[in-house]
Amino acid sequence: MIKGKAKMEFGTGDIRMTGALSGGIGALCCITQEPHEIGEKVPVEDTWDTEQAEVILTFTKTESIDALIAELQDVKAMMNGSYPFENGRVMQKDLDFDAFIRREDIEDE
């Protein structure tokens, strides 16, 4: 269930992603840190604990991870211009993600 909307902006080099497993449920967690090269494992102190991380996605089946990877590959292809839009997906060049998130927040009040 999606309880709210938030946007994490990847590409700024200040989000560190890490996987976690607890009780058979997998999770993708993120922490904010000083900007760095994308993909570089910059130490956050010597260790970090779950109190520092935001859980952004949880998975109860590995098939869900495969589906997410496929969607991310589509987004990558869209961004680099190799996605075959004739397959039915529509691209909205003018979509303002920030306004979309704010609109939903206002409607929830």
pLDDT tens figures, 20-78:
889 999 999 888 877 878 877 766 555 566 677 788 889 999 999 999 999 999 889 98
State how far the Cα of 97 lies from the Cα of 7, in Å rounded to an integer. 8
Query: Scanning the structure block, which residue is given the tokens 């520092």?
Result: 52
- In angstroms, the CA 21 to CA 62 distance is 12
Report the alpha-carbon distance of residue 6 to residue 71 in Å, rounded: 18
Q: How much is the pLDDT for 89?
A: 62
Contact 30, 56 (CB under 8 A): yes
